[in-house]
Structure 1
Amino acid sequence: MSDLKKMYNTLSQDPFPADMTVRLGEQELTFKKRTWEIEGETKGLRYGENPDQPAALYELVSGGLEFDGVKFRGEGQGLVSALTEEHMLQAGKHPGKTNLTDVDNALNILQYLYAKPAAVILKHNNPCGASWSEEGVGTALSNAFQADRIAAFGGAIVVNRPLTMEAVEVIDSAYFEVVAAPAFEEGTLEILKKRKNLRILQIPGIMDLEKLIGQPFLDIKSLMDGGMVVQFSFRNRILSAKDFIPAKADKDGSSYTARTPTTKEADDLLFAWAVEAGVTSNSVIFARDGVTTAIGTGEQDRVGCVELAVTKARTKYADLLAFDQFKMSIFELKLKALKDEEAAANLAAIEKKAADDKGGLTGSVLVSDGFFPFRDGVDLCMAQGITAIAQPGGSIRDNEIIQAVNEASPQVAMVFTGQRSFKH
């Protein structure tokens, strides 16, 4: 067992060269491998996705691309890949691939949430909780953490405003692997650095993320045969509530129109669609008051996404109740309930309340990264008490989906995004 534990503490010396060049036609990109001087030793990435996979991080240092009149992100715009020793305020066990790709995907989401202080907590390259709030990053981070206290364990926290003492209180209450922010208020680092394995990253460019919107990067998907698929990266077209498209459809000579979202519903839909940019497909996101209330991700069917999100929401809700009342997780309470009648009664009461309260989903809005091919997923969403939906539109059954929301009491609003947000 000691040998198995050792593999996670072993640095994988990568064999990759110091430089890399990518040429597409006559256009060329030059990259430099990123290494850091840590404790008197030159270190690159800790390892790749797994400890037995050597890996290297490369920063684009020269060159640029332009296709079909669209200029791509280029040199001088580095964020995660541009991290230096100065920005690595504490290396912890120093970052591996998954630590940095989690931070990168958080930035992918936060670029669309620049209008308010926001926080995202990621695990396995998916957000487990996200929030934005006019009350500041402390409130946003607390909300994001409460959205999924279970999955947040060992996660990466990224905020889009200087980290405050209020935010540090949240971080200090649980175990996290990475914290990244554009800056750190006085006194916060002293507390954070008490956790020696915590990776603390300062990324000043977070404050200017909105400048990257609309400018794609070269997205490369490698195939198992050594081939590659290259594509323009996803570009979110919903940057304000007015960018949503009214949900309308015509079928057999009849026209169908959905209710328009209220201002509050539209704001929550805007927030949730921004978070959707960083969620693995198929996926749906429930959100209320600028906080994710459930995220269903990585499912093969649309209704399965909703079922997963609903089930997870009830578990997370029950966990919050258990922690608030008994200072133990729902799983610890279940274990205690096996031998303790009082604990069993407490567990039953908590599980009943979680079911009665629909996992806290009532009043949420919902976004879906793809259109609903059938109304079953929509009906299941509405059974949880949602009030509005945003989805790409374009299904041959859009009329049936609009009929479904119009039949709801109270009537559920719906808009189209006019674009799909798949991420694989």
Structure 2
Amino acid sequence: MGEDLKKMYRTIVGDHFPSELRITFGDQTLIYKKRTWDLEVEPGIVERRGLRYGENPDQEAALYELVAGNLILGEAEFISPGKGLVSNLTEADFIQFGKHPSKTNLTDVDNSLNILKYLMEKPCCIIVKHNNPCGVAYGSSLEEAFTRAFSADRVAAFGGAIALNRPVDKACAEAIAKHYFEVVSAPDYEDGAVEILKRKKDLRIIRVKRMDKLAEYASFPVVEFKSLIDGGLILQVSQKNRIRKKEDLKPAIAVKDGVEYKCLRDPDDRELRDMIFGWAVELGVTSNSVLFVKDERTVAIGTGEQDRVGCTEIAIFKAYRNYSDWLCYTKLGIPYKQLELEVEKGLRPKEQKEEIDEETKKDKAGLINAVMVSDGFLPFRDAADVAIRQGISAILQPGGSVRDWEVIQACNEAYPPVAMMFTGQRAFKH
């Protein structure tokens, strides 16, 4: 029974989708070609197959690349053919197929690129799981960027998809190969790096062409489709990040009963950098979402909640979990949950757990002087108060709530005062 269940995840589901799609917008037609690859299904037997399956093993799926047509709606010109990234992957780009790719593998890579296109100025690593980032970080080297991203949430990163914006060197490959991931994607791989990564036979090693030009994709809009259960469609234009530099931010000012409220403290340069970095990450997170950033690295990411204060509390919980787990892993070489169990069973002294718990509490899980970033406005001051108690130093949010003045008060009542800026842009993603 157990082996049958495992086999389901390796089975490649045949699909009945056509080899070509044509989508007509009035008098304009876009043509898409289905992406397939030659795959050795048995020794000596090669078949042409598309995606392994969809989100689950019992769902057929297909990947299509835009090959003709250039959509123009109003004054907006959409992305033209010949710029494929994930949809353009060939057999040669899969340096190692590992398990045949599924929809989830490729959409994880795609969302990584969606964030990474705004973070190309320095070595950067993004680890995505279930289409949400769990760790994002800059580094002075690619290896450092990976280690910082991985340490941000080692638990969620297990089995995730890594995206890197520089060619992978041997040092970074060695760091990656120590752990279990499903996918690693990069613009290229230096001599010796692939051999190191291939120690993990199921790891998909992908070279993404044109990733060196990824920053250009920030200006290419696409049409996004949402299918309804009745067969209907909702179409929208993809969102563009309007917060790229500090001049794009707006001061947090609100008026209540004729009285103007303004934050007592302006953000410093480090906080501004973290705001810009955090907003780029935020555009790739399922809403409602709140995340914390410090020194251009995510501390914790709260995703997909219905209420903002609850999302903030979950992000804080994850920060404490992640921090104690990383301490445990670096000090004892085991996960924190394993330490808890072994202490409970009397296999380890309780002092080991107490030491990690005390250090995590003292450091407030790395949240001291972190920047809180929210994809939607704060409707009440409760989310700000919860985060301020953890020692954050600044907040970035869209603004526009009737209670903005109340959130500004929360920032000013903190000691020391907390800085806050508005984006004037919401970043919901569903």
Separation of aligned partners in 1, 2:168 and 2:261: 47
Separation of aligned partners in 1, 2:416 and 2:210: 44
Structure 1 residue 160 displacement after superposition:
0.9
Q: 1:206 is aligned with what amino acid?
A: M
8 Å CA contact 1:373–1:397 kept in 2: the answer is yes
SS of residue in 1 equivalent to 2:240: coil
Match of 1:362 in 2: 368
8 Å CA contact 2:372–2:392 kept in 1: the answer is yes
Pairing of 1:360-399 with structure 2 (within 5 A): 360-399=366-405
Structure 1 residue 422 displacement after superposition:
0.4
Number of paired residues? 423
Separation of aligned partners in 1, 2:295 and 2:171: 20
Separation of aligned partners in 2, 1:343 and 1:47: 47
8 Å CA contact 2:288–2:428 kept in 1: the answer is yes
Q: C-alpha deviations, 1:348-367, integer Å up to 9, x for none?
A: 33223222321111111111
Match of 1:189 in 2: 194
Match of 2:90 in 1: 84
Structure 1 residue 106 displacement after superposition:
0.2
Q: 1:406 aligns with which of 384, 409, 412?
A: 412
Match of 1:106 in 2: 112
Q: C-alpha deviations, 1:68-98, integer Å up to 9, x for none?
A: 2011112111100010111111111121000
Separation of aligned partners in 2, 1:125 and 1:404: 33
Match of 1:179 in 2: 184
SS of residue in 2 equivalent to 1:120: strand
Separation of aligned partners in 2, 1:55 and 1:215: 25
8 Å CA contact 1:336–1:344 kept in 2: the answer is no
SS of residue in 2 equivalent to 1:174: coil
Separation of aligned partners in 1, 2:402 and 2:118: 30
Q: Percent identity?
A: 53
Separation of aligned partners in 2, 1:111 and 1:165: 24
8 Å CA contact 1:214–1:236 kept in 2: the answer is no
Q: 2:346 aligns with which of 340, 343, 360?
A: 340
Separation of aligned partners in 2, 1:267 and 1:420: 19
Deviates more, 1:28-37 or 1:207-216: 207-216
Separation of aligned partners in 2, 1:362 and 1:141: 22
Structure 1 residue 341 displacement after superposition:
6.9
SS of residue in 2 equivalent to 1:100: helix
Q: 1:178 is aligned with what amino acid?
A: V
SS of residue in 2 equivalent to 1:184: coil
* 1:300 maps onto 2:300 in alignment: no
Match of 2:327 in 1: 321
Q: 2:307 is aligned with what amino acid?
A: D
Q: 1:58 is aligned with what amino acid?
A: Y
Q: 1:109 is aligned with what amino acid?
A: I
Q: C-alpha deviations, 1:274-309, integer Å up to 9, x for none?
A: 000110000011011111001011111000111001
Deviates more, 1:399-408 or 1:266-275: 399-408
Structure 1 residue 117 displacement after superposition:
1.4
8 Å CA contact 1:180–1:201 kept in 2: the answer is yes
SS of residue in 1 equivalent to 2:157: coil
Match of 2:274 in 1: 268
Q: 1:23 is aligned with what amino acid?
A: T
Q: 1:189 is aligned with what amino acid?
A: V
SS of residue in 2 equivalent to 1:285: strand
Q: 1:352 is aligned with what amino acid?
A: E
SS of residue in 1 equivalent to 2:210: helix
Pairing of 1:23-422 with structure 2 (within 5 A): 23-39=24-40, 40-133=46-139, 135-258=140-263, 259-340=265-346, 342-422=348-428
Match of 1:17 in 2: 18
Separation of aligned partners in 2, 1:240 and 1:118: 18
Q: 1:212 is aligned with what amino acid?
A: Y
Match of 2:43 in 1: none
Separation of aligned partners in 1, 2:170 and 2:248: 36
Structure 1 residue 26 displacement after superposition:
1.3
Separation of aligned partners in 2, 1:419 and 1:199: 36
SS of residue in 2 equivalent to 1:150: helix
Separation of aligned partners in 2, 1:349 and 1:399: 41
Deviates more, 1:16-25 or 1:165-174: 165-174
TM score, norm. by length of structure 2: 0.96
Structure 1 residue 342 displacement after superposition:
4.3
Structure 1 residue 260 displacement after superposition:
2.0
Separation of aligned partners in 2, 1:118 and 1:240: 18
8 Å CA contact 1:249–1:257 kept in 2: the answer is yes
Separation of aligned partners in 1, 2:277 and 2:142: 15
SS of residue in 2 equivalent to 1:236: coil
8 Å CA contact 2:149–2:298 kept in 1: the answer is yes
Separation of aligned partners in 2, 1:333 and 1:80: 40
SS of residue in 1 equivalent to 2:65: strand
Separation of aligned partners in 2, 1:343 and 1:180: 41
For structure 1, the residue ranges without an aligned partner over 5 or more in a row are none
Separation of aligned partners in 1, 2:361 and 2:270: 26
SS of residue in 1 equivalent to 2:106: helix
8 Å CA contact 1:70–1:215 kept in 2: the answer is no
Q: 2:127 is aligned with what amino acid?
A: I
Q: C-alpha deviations, 1:162-194, integer Å up to 9, x for none?
A: 112221122111000000000111110111122
Separation of aligned partners in 2, 1:218 and 1:196: 36
Structure 1 residue 217 displacement after superposition:
0.5
Q: C-alpha deviations, 1:130-152, integer Å up to 9, x for none?
A: 0013x122111110001111111
SS of residue in 1 equivalent to 2:273: helix
